[in-house]
Amino acid sequence: MSDDMWRERRDRDDFSEYGSLFDEAEPTQNIDEVRGKKAGKESRESEAITFGASDTGNLPHWTDPPTGEVPRLDVEDGVDDDELDVWSSFSSESPVWQDDEPIEAQAPAGDRNSGQQRRVTDDPSKVSGQHRRVSGESEVVTREPSRITIGTDPSGIPRRPPTSRRRGGAPPPSSARARTAPPPKSGRDMPVAIAVGLLLAAVFLAALMYEPWALAVLICIVVGLGAVEFYDKVSEKGYRPAVIPGVVACVATPAAAYWLGDGTLPLAIAFAFMATSITFIGARSVEAGPMPNVSITTLGIIWIGLLGSFAMLILRLSTNSGSDLPGASNRGTDTLFLLALGVVVNDIGALFVGSAAGRTPLRPWISPNKTVEGLIGGALMTIVAMVVVGIGEWSDTWKSQKHLFALAIVISVFAPLGDLVESMFKRNLDTKDFGSIIRGHGGVLDRFDAFLFTLPAVYYLTMVLEPWTVVRAG
């Protein structure tokens, strides 16, 4: 292209209306025209923007701090507000659990001035949600429970409130207060406790020396009373157990074990579970709480009925020994006597040693009165008692010192475990005792809790060792 053609095309094209790409006008543009357009543009920018009757004022500059005002949206007639809020189902909040740290402590320092903040309210059961800077409002979100509340199930369906049997109609203490308040001391009336303990020992020895069936009847009575106490206490705390199937199963399971042996235990538990479950089929709605209440009923059957049945299985060794050897009819009664002696001595040793030298709690959240020193003292007392039995040759069944030592170790391990489990259940139910039928000891479960874990352990130890087969030296 020649220079003449380029000049003609440049003169023909008019770029003045688009302005200059630079601060100064190009030589090809009209300087006066460019200056006029620039002055007009500055005057237009200086004018305020208005919106008519609903004028909100001048728009702030982007460098100005936020004013906290919320934009207003005019909704047309016939349009639902929920249709516009399409993001209302989404939330940036997450569940806050009881054991979590405060949210402000978890957030980094750089995030404390962000648009969304969280704060902990004065109420320990609630935590605030999003704190919005534009409106200053906060949405309060209820704290999720860290454990299943008594009388409810994980689905959150409410059950009946716990009943209070206190005089004056005072409400029971809340779960939060029960977790933080120090547990009450035992306050056992020792003279009454000793007198009642001697009376129980006399009744036990009389039934033991009379006939095996008399002791079997006594065992059924003890197990039945323990079941009644358990279901009465959990009903008081808000559960709705199937009381009749539960109590019948707790009594029938030991009776079946004494009659037909350990082969009946699976069948008895299966029928007990089916009877309990069928009971809730007749409920009016799911408000009856079939899952938690069937579970609490089955707990009583397993804990009291099934574990108590092993006392019958031990007693059955006397009635179904299958041997004419001397002392064969005493296998079950001797074993039960040594078991009861070991449990009682273990309890007494732990009580006195723990009271005198107890410094280290065994499980403080279960029972701060039970100490490691008491556990060791109870074990030593149990071993000494079994050694004395062996030296005095008081048993026709347990003749070897090694077997008696093994029996003492088993009792020393499982008796405290049974006591701890019962104390754990009482702490969960926020109660001191399951009953008050035995003066100075509480209820039947409070007195015989250590036996429930010791019975099956001693039964299987006896079946493995068969101590009656040992010939006493000399």
Please check whether residue 268 lies inside any domain of the structure: yes
Better-scored residue on pLDDT, 181 or 232: 232
pLDDT score for 404: 95
The verdict on residue 280 lying in a domain is yes
Q: Is residue 409 one of the residues assigned to a domain?
A: yes
pLDDT digits (tens, 9 = 90+) for 224-254: 999 999 999 999 998 999 999 999 999 999 9
- Amino acid letter, residue 269: I
Residue 46 lies in a domain: no
Residue 99 within a domain:
no
> Would you state the pLDDT for residue 137?
47
Q: When comparing pLDDT for 464 and 189, which is higher?
A: 464
User: C-alpha angle with apex 75: 70 to 76, nearest 5 degrees?
Assistant: 165
SS3 141: strand
| Residue scoring higher pLDDT (93 or 360) | 360
Residue 381 belongs to a domain: yes
Cβ atoms of 234 and 241 within 8 Å: the answer is yes
Which residue type occupies 8?
E
State the Cα–Cα distance between residues 389 and 395, nearest whole angstrom: 7
Helix, strand, coil tally for the chain in percent (to 5):
60, 5, 35
Q: What is the distance between the alpha carbons of residues 324 and 318, in angstroms, rounded to a whole number?
A: 11
Whether residue 211 has pLDDT greater than 60: yes
- pLDDT at position 302 is 96
- The predicted pLDDT at position 436 comes to 78
- Asked if residue 139 has pLDDT above 60, the reply is no
Determine the Cα–Cα distance for residues 250 and 209; give it in Å rounded to an integer.
25
Tell me if 73 is assigned to some domain. Answer: no
Angstrom distance (rounded) from CA 145 to CA 155: 12
Sign, CA dihedral 148-149-151-156, equals negative
Which domain covers residue 4, as residue numbers?
A: 1-36
Where does the pLDDT of residue 278 fall: very low under 50, low under 70, confident under 90, or very high at 90 and above? very high
86 within domain boundaries: no
Number of domains in the chain: 2
Q: Would the CA dihedral through 318, 321, 322, 323 be positive or negative?
A: negative
Lowest mean pLDDT among 73-82, 110-119, 224-233: 110-119
CA torsion sign, 227 to 228 to 234 to 235?
positive
Q: Which amino acid is at 13?
A: D
- Say how far apart CA 26 and CA 452 lie, in whole Å: 104
Supply the DSSP string of 233-286, one letter for each residue: HHHHTT----HHHHHHHHHHHHHHHHHH-GGGHHHHHHHHHHHHHHHHHTSSSG
- Asked if 119 contacts 102 with a C-beta cutoff of 8 angstroms, the reply is no
**Secondary structure class of 440 (helix, strand, coil):** coil
Give how far Cα 356 sits from Cα of 197, 347, 366, Å: 22, 14, 20
